[in-house]
Amino acid sequence: MAEVIKVRNLHKEYGATVAVDDVSFSVQEGEIFGILGRNGAGKTTTVECVEGLRAADRGEISVLGLDPQRDRAELTQLLGVQLQDSQLPDKLTVAEALDLYSAFYRAPADWRALLELLGLAEKARTPFKKLSGGQKQRLSIALALVANPRVAVLDELTTGLDPQARRDTWELIEGIRDRGVTIVLVSHFMEEAERLCDRVALIDAGRVVAIDSPASLAEQAQAEQRIAFRPSAPFEDGLLTSLPSVHGLTRRGEVVTVTGGADALLEVITTLSRAQITPQRLRVDQGNLEDAFLELTGHHAVKEQVR
Amino acid sequence: MSVATRASAAASAGAAPRRSALGQLARVELKLFLREKVGPVWGIGLPMLLLVIFGSIPAFKKELPGSGGLTTLDTYVPILILLSLGLLSLVAMPLTIVNYRERGVLRRLRTTPAGPVRVLAAQLIVYLGMAIVTVALIVAVGRLAYGVPLPRQFGAWLLSLVFAVAALLAMGLFVAAVGPNPRAAGAIGSLLFYPLMFFSGLWLPIPAMPAVLQHIAHATPLGAAWEGFQQAILGHWPPVLGLVAMAAWAVVFALAAARFFRWD
């Protein structure tokens, strides 16, 4: 598969603050590539350099074979952009905004079909100010797609949306990828990346700490499984702590929690059943991207959960 | 219908005829200007209202001694024109542009082929168009309703108008360039607007000012413009120094605006 975006040793400082410190990654054609990290990790600066909004201090960037600074005019024709916190004039209607933006491009998409696609058809005559958060977000996605872009960069797509609107937006993004658009998704929201991204780059303090698929990142982080259950009959700790894959056992009230390696679950279940004990309300916590992030950077990705 | 098939339908129907991005921007900006109401109410409504009020005061229709046969109202019509131009270019236009910067509209446009320069150009087109409409309206209503004479030397009058508009729009762009947010831009715009209006003779006619103030007035763009209008109404060409003064204000502020303008 062709490399659509190549970033090599990108470096950007604001005064004495290093925002992006030697970041490299590449995005393959047709994938959804996530750029993940906490607020202020350097994600937005990185994509702003890719979009050509900022000039890098050092490093090389190529998008569809173009230099974002030198080939700006050509790149804007091919790159759809959704910016974080970018708004429209209050009294501009949805249809006017799409009609206007479609006039900018050589070969624009049919914006009326985009309205349908994004579920904004009934809102065509509604001014920007009167749209809900989810509708504004969908409009800004529509404006990114009206270019008929080969690559779309979407920055903090679902921040501030309610869970339903967030899920709808995710479905939409998958639909857009299915039509062949390569997508770069900037997010500080791990669940979003886990659900959508083929590969993610974890960025922390301006540096890439890992690039891989969400599943294999989570797997790497999955040093320990946590198995919690209520035993149907009492048993001695030694029954389970003697097992080779089990590392620890704690009890809280009736609930027993066992931690252990990859084979711990199988060993615990078979040992319990041999002792004729049923593990009731069995729960197994697998490692996820959040754990991976925590392990790789030493802190949590999301400080405030957006609800 | 699945999302994907609808998407491909959206992608394939992109054969609309090419339209000029600037033309579309200007059309949209004009609509927004009319919807926002600030420009129409303050830039056009207020000067028209003042014209009607002044026109209805009998004392304003008495001939001014030493004015070459003009009435007070006749000398006020150019001031009302400048009032309208000042409000449009120093207050309304910078507010729109700074608001666009604050809301990321300019930043977003930087990622499109249109670029943010075109939205500024569209603003200038809209405000220039509005200025022309307002000036024509003030002159026409003054003439038809209150018998204010048309300038005898129309070319000279037009010359002063063009120089005044250039100076004011340049100052408006400067305000938009240095105003970090709409509130600050409003304050900076007012800071320029009120002294400039004072020297146009809005509160005290220039001929009634002390000599020092008269000299200053002639060096300010609106004072020079008023003098030019006054001369044109009487059939004379504007003093060259007045034109030079207006051109200097236009150039200095345009350069400063270009130097300090930020897209985000």
Per-residue pLDDT of chain B (264 residues; tens, 9 = 90+): 344 444 444 444 444 455 789 999 999 999 999 998 888 888 889 999 999 999 999 988 888 877 778 898 998 999 999 999 999 999 999 999 999 999 999 999 999 999 888 989 999 999 999 999 999 999 999 999 999 999 999 999 999 999 999 999 999 999 999 999 999 999 999 999 999 999 999 999 888 899 999 999 999 999 999 999 999 999 999 999 999 999 999 999 999 999 999 988
Can you give the pLDDT at residue A51?
A: 94
Reported confidence tier of residue A224, pLDDT bands at 50, 70, 90: confident
Reported confidence tier of residue A299, pLDDT bands at 50, 70, 90: low
Q: In sequence order, which residues have a C-beta less than 8 Å from that of residue B151 and are 6 or more positions away?
A: B157, B229, B232, B233, B235
Residue ranges of the alpha helices (H) in A124-197?
Answer: 133-145, 163-178, 190-196
Reported confidence tier of residue A84, pLDDT bands at 50, 70, 90: confident
Closest residue in chain A to residue B23, using alpha carbons only: A103
Q: Which residues of B touch A113 (CB under 8 A)?
A: 6, 9-10, 13
Between CA B88 and CA B169 the distance in angstroms is: 9
Q: Is the pLDDT of residue A176 over 50?
A: yes
Compute the C-alpha angle A156/A159/A165, nearest 5°: 115
Reported confidence tier of residue A300, pLDDT bands at 50, 70, 90: low
Can you give the pLDDT at residue A165?
A: 82
Q: Residue A75, SS3?
A: helix
* Nearest chain A CA: its distance from B243 CA (Å): 37
Structure tokens at A57: 């201090």
CB contact under 8 A, A175 and B3: yes
Reported confidence tier of residue A167, pLDDT bands at 50, 70, 90: confident
Which of A89-103, A150-164, A196-210 has the weakest average pLDDT?
Answer: A150-164
Can you give the pLDDT at residue B177?
A: 95
Q: In sequence order, which residues have a C-beta less than 8 Å from that of residue B58 and are 6 or more positions away?
A: none
Q: Which residues of A touch B112 (CB under 8 A)?
A: 76, 81, 101, 104-105, 147
Closest residue in chain A to residue B2, using alpha carbons only: A175
Report chain A's mean pLDDT, rounded to a whole number. 88
Can you give the pLDDT at residue A45?
A: 93
Q: Is the pLDDT of residue A276 over 50?
A: yes
Q: In sequence order, which residues have a C-beta less than 8 Å from that of residue B156 and are 6 or more positions away?
A: B228, B231, B232, B236, B237, B238
Q: Is the pLDDT of residue A126 over 60?
A: yes
Taking residues A202-214, report their average pLDDT: 91
Closest residue in chain B to residue A50, using alpha carbons only: B111
Taking residues A13-29, report their average pLDDT: 92
Can you give the pLDDT at residue A245?
A: 86
Q: Which residues of B touch A143 (CB under 8 A)?
A: 108
Structure tokens at A266: 């199988």
